[in-house]
Amino acid sequence: MNNVYCLEPASTCEQLPTEGTRRVIADEERVLYDGYWIKTYPVPVDSLQGKKSLIEALARRLFNHTEHGLNIPGCRLGEARQSYATEAEPARRRVKAGMLAGALFNRATDIFKRLVELQADGIEILCDNALMRECGHCLLEAMELGRCVLHRSGEEGIDELWGEPFRAFSIPVEDFYESRYVKIGQSMRDIDLLAAAMISNFSRIPTFETVETPIRDFANAAKVKTETLRTDPGIFDVWSHLVTAGERLAHFTPQAAAEAGEKRPGSPLHSLSDGLRLLRNGRDLVFYIARARTPMPKSTHEYIERCEAYLSSGRVSFMPAALPA
């Protein structure tokens, strides 16, 4: 893996370049955000066709990471709106808000497709075109309703997934790509925060004190995945490396009590089943962040708290299991 993640922590580096600095490292252009040198990609042509392709890719990404059942065709927008408007039960209303958001999102994509077809036929499409305005309104409303939608894990929502299509529609493509590098840097930062919390807490427990290497290997593989597009020729090695590193962490075998040494004075007796489940939860959360390429601050904060609780008490409370993906 020819990847360079970080210079030094900003707090200890006096000569850290400014955010957005670009450099060629190992024959690849990289941009600096949050202390990470992130791989860059060519920016598509800023045209209706380019934005159509971008918004379609963002649609696939959105429905891939959110709750099931939200990919409602744009032609059913009226039905989705009526069902949402007449729903009084709060939990069902939240779900229907997500379904309406999905229909709005798909309606906007449908409009964009038609505009591109008209442009291809030689018809000039201006920014104040009525269909362009309608497309923007659909994306904006979908973004507002998307705040009700949870990530597929069931732990929290990722507002970025709903806001990105509107930004891709309303700002130059080059600016949109730059905003994605900012989020990738934040995602790498959270992956490192999670890895540090896992290592700091688990390595102080005798039966888990050898877990540092598989955690670091997995976190490093996840950061590579975070910066790598699915269209990148190297995705085959990147993805397989991430999956196998995750498998090694999930299959980590704690040391036997006798091998790990006696229980440290004053420390609790740690539940091995709780510890192994917590490790797998951490692996899953890092996977979610790496695949979405967007930070999950609420889940990250709560997971770090659970690691600290496990170290101090020997037990940990878990979130309810998400529905099968």
Q: Do β-strands 28-33 and 36-39 pair in parallel, antiparallel, or remain unpaired?
A: antiparallel
HSE, side-chain direction, 13 A CA sphere, residue 229: 14
Distance in angstroms (rounded) separating the CA atoms of residues 304 and 197:
6
* Nearest-10 crossing angle of helices 77-85, 90-120: 160
**What's residue 146's pLDDT?**
85
User: Among residues 76, 72, 137, which one has the least CA distance to residue 102?
Assistant: 72
**What's residue 29's pLDDT?**
95
**What's residue 133's pLDDT?**
87
Q: What is the pTM of this model?
A: 0.81
Distance in angstroms (rounded) separating the CA atoms of residues 139 and 314:
47
Pair 17, 32: CB distance under 8 Å: yes
Measured CA distances, 296 to 59, 71, 167, 220 (Å): 19, 22, 20, 18
The domain segmentation of the chain, as residue ranges, is: 10-39, 48-171, 186-313
Q: Give the H/E segment covering residue 107.
A: helix 90-120
Residue with tokens 């190992």: 26
Report the sign of the C-alpha dihedral through residues 139, 144, 148, 152, in that order.
positive
* Nearest-10 crossing angle of helices 90-120, 130-145: 150
Full pLDDT tens readout for the chain, 325 residues: 444 444 334 444 446 789 999 999 999 999 999 999 999 999 988 888 888 888 888 888 888 888 889 999 999 999 999 999 999 999 999 999 999 999 998 998 888 888 878 877 777 777 777 888 898 899 899 889 988 888 877 776 677 777 788 788 888 889 999 999 999 999 999 999 999 999 999 999 999 989 999 999 999 999 999 999 989 999 999 999 999 999 999 999 987 654 444 455 556 688 899 999 999 999 999 999 999 999 999 899 999 999 999 999 888 876 544 444 4
**Residues sharing a CB contact under 8 Å with residue 215, sequence separation 6 or more, in sequence order:** 195, 198, 199, 202, 249, 282
Q: Is 283 helix (H, G, I), strand (E, B) or coil?
A: helix
Q: How many helices (H) and strands (E) does the chain have?
A: 11, 3
Instruction: Give burial (CB, 10 Å; 0-12/13-18/19+) of 81.
Output: middle
Distance in angstroms (rounded) separating the CA atoms of residues 10 and 35:
7
- Give the single-character DSSP code of 151: B
Pair 295, 190: CB distance under 8 Å: yes
Distance in angstroms (rounded) separating the CA atoms of residues 155 and 284:
12
User: Among residues 278, 275, 291, which one has the least CA distance to residue 184?
Assistant: 291
**Residues sharing a CB contact under 8 Å with residue 50, sequence separation 6 or more, in sequence order:** 44, 173
